[in-house]
Copies of this chain bind each other. A is one copy, B any other.
């Protein structure tokens, strides 16, 4: 039901971004990049969780050297996150990274920018321009304040530097820690460029705060068709970023996968639905990549109707429960058999 805005397409390694390719999920390591063992381990864990593109901070030459050891051990594209130093950018490209995050306006002289762009062009490596409140110049802030307009204008300055060099392999982010500013910045930018957009909320806080802000900010834009790749930021384990990103996309039908819908229970509920739902979640964990919607309802009267859109469901109460498939009741079993019967039904349905 979502019509995505058409953008130009770039490739971060093997992963297409933009041009109607699936919205990819990114994360960033929080290990010191020079701790090669820890960084490889974290990237491999992110891969297993479903991360599709990973970014590493490259603050020094030692980190560039670490890339030579890290890259052969991982299976997803790696983007080097570089602030200011063009030599680090050149080094990372030479080491074989799949993308750069660097703001061309912050690299320094025109010569240095040209050198980085030439190296990126040679290796077909895209550049992400990433502007946020923290990267605005004093001049821009004096003129506009920290507003969506300031952020977008600043991004466009960096864009024009690349365009003037005939380089178009780019994606852009205009993150903010303020959700309303973030929404407005991306909407404004989306009208002005054809490049793919990388969505995110910066400094989104710990898991709970980030789940709320990222679902709202990233989700609302994706629902409008804006956004080609996303990164949820969490102060915590980056693995959490992947589960939040996946859940946002599943909620919008942008990514296939298991969805469990369950009612909040009320004074009418005569079954321990909270425990039952947790049991269903746990039992279906191995099937989380299958595109099925499962309902767990506490009301025999309204349950099957309310969960009409679910592929499979159960509705329990007063010692017995109904099993239904696409809104149609297909069985009645004692309450204690509900979980077993539901899982059996789903396992029989799934391709072996």
Interface residues of A (CB under 8 A from B): 1-2, 28-34, 39, 56-59, 63, 81, 83, 132-135, 146, 177-181, 183-184, 202-206, 208-209, 211-213, 215-216, 219-220, 223, 233-236, 238, 241, 243-244, 247-248, 251-253, 259-270, 273-274, 277-278, 281, 295-297, 301-302, 305-309
Contact = CB atoms under 8 A, between A and B. Distances in A.
A190 to B, nearest CB: 16
A233 to B, nearest CB: 4
Q: What number of copies of this chain does the assembly contain? A: 2
A309 B202 contact: no
Nearest to A178: B309
A215 B206 contact: no
A306 B216 contact: no
Interface secondary structure of A, over-half rule: mixed
Contacts of A203: 261-264, 295, 297, 306-307
A21 to B, nearest CB: 20
B268 A57 contact: yes
Contacts of A59: 267-268
B32 A206 contact: no
Contact of A244 (B212, B234, B278, B305): B212
Contact of A81 (B247, B259, B266, B296): B266
A261 B210 CA distance: 9
B209 A211 contact: no
Complex A-B, nearest 6 residue pairs according to Cβ-Cβ distance, in ascending order:
A134-B306, A216-B219, A57-B267, A220-B220, A215-B215, A233-B264
A236 B260 CA distance: 14
B263 A308 contact: no
A216 to B, nearest CB: 4
Contacts of A248: 212, 216
Contacts of A57: 266-268
A81 B267 CA distance: 10
Nearest to A236: B274
A179 B251 contact: yes
A242 B296 CA distance: 22
Contact of A267 (B29, B132, B180, B281): B29
B264 A235 contact: yes
Contacts of A274: 206, 235-236
